[in-house]
Amino acid sequence: MPDFILGIDQGTTGSTALLIGHDLRVHGRCTIDFPQHFPKPGWVEHDPEEIWTSVRQAILGLMESTDTKSSQIMAIGITNQRETTVLWERDDSTAAANAIVWQCRRSAPICEKLKAQGLEELYRSRTGLVLDPYFSGTKLTWLFEESAKLKQRAEDGQLAFGTIDSFLVWRLTGGKAHVTDVSNASRTLMMDLQDLSWEDELLEPLGVPRSILPEIVPSSNVYGKTSGLDFLPDGIPIAGMAGDQQAALFGQACFEPGQTKCTYGTGAFILENIGDRPVPSKHGLLTTVAWQLNGKTSYALEGSAFIAGAAVQWLRDGLGLIQSSAEIEALARQVNDNGGVVFVPALTGLGAPHWRSEARGQITGLTRGTTAAHIAHATLQGIALQVHDLVAAMADDRGEAGSILKVDGGAANNNLLMQMQSDLLNRPVSRPETVETTALGAAMLAGLAVGFWNDTDELANSWQEERCFWPQAGKDWQETLLSQWTQALNKT
């Protein structure tokens, strides 16, 4: 029977365990959902024990449903919701407080205070990030400001901090490994992008004691082995880790500078491999570590459009134009163009490269001849246009245009949207055979560490494309649509 890498994809609403074969295909999967907790408006928490239980049950369900023996698992790779912050007891591994989720906005006043102290440029230049509640550092600050006892216990070495990757490795190894990979560490506001180390200059304004921090390790490495679990035997190497978006970039085999991936979900997450230098962005994009492999660090530019698939959901739930999200493609294909209609899907403001939080969604160009099909067509174009702006900003930051755009996520199954994207970017858009790219990337990193695959060349050759969309529209179409878009943005 074939051997596998066990991929653990620990997400915001559920945990998925997958078996990845040497052929880079998913040979089994099991997902277990867990609850989110909202103690106050704008606050989002997870119970770390519920996360751990969901991971355990997902692995048990996977092994049972596929009749897989534990001896067939060569290694474990972990990918995770980034920035979510966990504090736990070193002595018995129990959580010291609920995890503060990446979506939580409770530390916004702390970010404003740090900005008022003139520290924004320090954090921007050293970490590649912006001072925002999104990131882990100010979540820790909030925990310690709320509880002097918690901070004292942290300073006394009784507590450990980690993002979800770190927490899972600790639990899987029976508390023997307190580590985080460079991609997750680069999302904390506490790691220097150049040195790949925790820096006192960044820790001190946050009030974070160095004693609670995990060791920063490569993304592909044997960090420890399973120990003392009731659902896996001792001795399986935990050998790969990366934050979810970085893992998706790796899972898409974007190993070369200029290669880009876009995940089309509720929003759209775009990462572009920028090579071995952390290029600062002139457009408000984030600079982040993509991964560290064989002693070489790769960096990425990251941008996100807040609304992508959510715009289609709004047409379904808010306007009732479609009964299911999948129907939008057929509706949009009823017309050959947008009929002059432009939809700016700024339903929650505009992110990079515009950064206008006050912006709101707008539909322009409506006439008596406008139909539901025109609005559907314009909605898909609005998604593609946001991605175009982010990719163009990345090209400007790098000083050269990227090559191929690899896509995943639910909306990547929309052939019309993918063709629009290719036409707007004037680049090929490639959709993979294996759409579980996040878990695939973590498994690939783990497999490289234990010799399951030899190198990235073997992985690139094994990566399978399901379909490639090539530019078909002319330059006039592109220029007209971009002009319409610019005018609509100026009115938004």
Torsion of CA 351, 354, 355, 356, to 10 degrees: -100
Picking from 249, 257, 345, 239, the residue whose alpha carbon sits closest to that of residue 291 is 249
**Residues in the chain, pLDDT under 50:** 1
Q: How many CB atoms lie within 10 A of CB 10?
A: 27
State the DSSP code for 413.
G
- The confidence score (pLDDT) of residue 1 equals 46
pLDDT at 69: 84
Domains along the chain with CATH numbers: 4-245 (3.30.420.40), 253-492 (3.30.420.40)
Instruction: Encode pLDDT of 320-348 as tens digits.
Output: 989 988 899 999 999 999 999 999 988 77
355: Cβ–Cβ under 8 A, 6 or more apart, which residues? 284
Question: What is the distance between the alpha carbons of residues 229 and 329, in angstroms, rounded to a whole number?
Answer: 47
Does residue 293 contact residue 218 with C-beta atoms inside 8 Å? yes
Task: Output the pLDDT for position 2.
Answer: 64
Query: How many other C-beta atoms can be found within 10 angstroms of the C-beta atom of residue 14?
Result: 14
Quote the CA–CA distance of 138 and 305 in Å, as a whole number: 23
**Sequence letter at residue 423:** D
Query: What are the CA-CA distances from residue 119 to residues 110, 124, 138, 203 (Å)?
Result: 12, 9, 13, 12
Residue-level pLDDT at 463: 92
